[in-house]
Structure 1
Amino acid sequence: MQTPEPQSEHLWLHQLVGEWSIESECVMGPDQPPMTTTGREVVRLLGKVWTIGESSGNAPGDGFESIMTLGYDPQTKRFVGSFIASTMTHFWPYSGWLDASGRILTLDSEGPSFSGDGTMAKYQDIIEFITNDHRTLTARVQSPDGSWQQFMTAHYRRE
């Protein structure tokens, strides 16, 4: 099997590679105060067409660890990947696109709703490069009325 040549979309992902400090704020409900966490992420390449980001940090309880994979599928013309975390049992598959500015990658997924009633909801993780050394990850969930509600923002700064 021949190693695939990276396309411009794969090269876009290469800017994620490195060591990052993380500061995040998450709101889990309207009656709850924001939860802040800090951590660290190391992103590496797998070949020239995948990135693997491994994060860890403080959070209530035992802290957290997570792994995010990202790549690009030239056949579907979509960014693809996954997210798993030590603080949850759901496997989050990603399918996404890059905006026209080339700075914002929006990743769609589906997972358990915050209602806790066993229903599923649509989610988006949005990666935006502010500078080469500062990016954000914003997470939002789609409400039953179709509107999007942001519940988490994380700032990543290159170390």
Structure 2
Amino acid sequence: MVLCLGMAAAFAIGPAFAGEKGTSPVAATSATSPNDSKATDLARPNANHNLLGELAGTWNYVLKISMGPNKPPIETNGVVVRQPIMGGRYFLADFDVEMLPGNDGKLEKANFKGKSIEGYDNVKQNFISIWIDNASTGPTIFEGNYDPASRTLTYTSETEPKLGQKTKVREVIKVIDDNHYNLDWYEEHGGHEIKTIEITYTRSPAPEL
């Protein structure tokens, strides 16, 4: 399906960083207790994982997909649910997209499903995201860094929609507040970077008891 890989990668990063403005990821430190080894300390979740954990929950999103120059974008929507796993070391996000653009550029039933696992690597000291879906057999792996001043996370990766056809991609996540954030997806074509996807996320209100 057209744009499926770009969509998959854009969803992969998913929600991130609802921490207070100015909160900065911290580097993993060596053990402070004589009974702890440095390896054990590196295996513990820290403030970086807590940043990811701030956005656990259910989110509604509106997705706009660029269809090319001088053409209006295609718009669709959906829901993503993310939750902590492995004792808060990672965060699993589930995506279920019913409608996506087909070969004619019109929305059609897609039955597109994907999962991402997000985390922070204490050894490499960067954020990571791994994406898998029902439209491909290979995972997409992203690495990124967070700017606390602008509350922005930037991920980079390289996709290969066809054998030998690699595309550099960049994803910029801008946190607006604890209940809203935006995502912009860029692809490099012919030496030029083009924005192809915009997603706005809104936290789903908790159900009334």
Task: Indicate the structure with greater strand content.
Answer: 1
* Partners of 1:19 and 1:41 within 8 A in 2: yes
> CA–CA distance in 2 between the matches of 1:77 and 1:109?
17
Counterpart of 2:174? 128
Inter-CA distance 98–58: structure 2 relative to 1 (3 Å threshold): same
Largest Rg, 1 or 2: 2
> CA–CA distance in 1 between the matches of 2:138 and 2:190?
21
What stretches of structure 1 of length at least 5 have no aligned partner?
none
Inter-CA distance 64–81: structure 2 relative to 1 (3 Å threshold): same
Partner amino acid, structure 2, of 1:106: T
The count of aligned residue pairs is 156
> CA–CA distance in 1 between the matches of 2:163 and 2:92?
32
Residue-by-residue CA offset, 1:97-142 (whole Å, 9 max, x unaligned): 10142611111111136xx684101112222211100112221112
Counterpart of 2:115? 67
TM-score, normalised to structure 1, is: 0.85
Of all paired residues, the percent bearing the same amino acid is 24
* Partners of 1:55 and 1:65 within 8 A in 2: yes
Partner amino acid, structure 1, of 2:95: S
> CA–CA distance in 1 between the matches of 2:148 and 2:127?
14
Pick one of 87, 96, 117 that aligns with 1:56: 96
Counterpart of 1:44? 83
* Partners of 2:97 and 2:110 within 8 A in 1: no
Pick one of 179, 186, 190 that aligns with 1:140: 186
* Partners of 1:57 and 1:63 within 8 A in 2: yes
> CA–CA distance in 1 between the matches of 2:62 and 2:138?
23
Task: Indicate the structure with greater helix content.
Answer: 2
Runs of 4 or more, structure 1, over 4 Å off, are: none
Residue-by-residue CA offset, 1:53-78 (whole Å, 9 max, x unaligned): 11112222323222121101111111
> CA–CA distance in 2 between the matches of 1:117 and 1:31?
30
SS in 2 for 1:10: helix
> CA–CA distance in 1 between the matches of 2:190 and 2:131?
24
Q: Which has the higher contact order (CA 8 A, sep 6+)?
A: 2
> CA–CA distance in 1 between the matches of 2:159 and 2:81?
25
* Partners of 1:90 and 1:111 within 8 A in 2: no
Counterpart of 1:19? 58
Counterpart of 2:159? 111
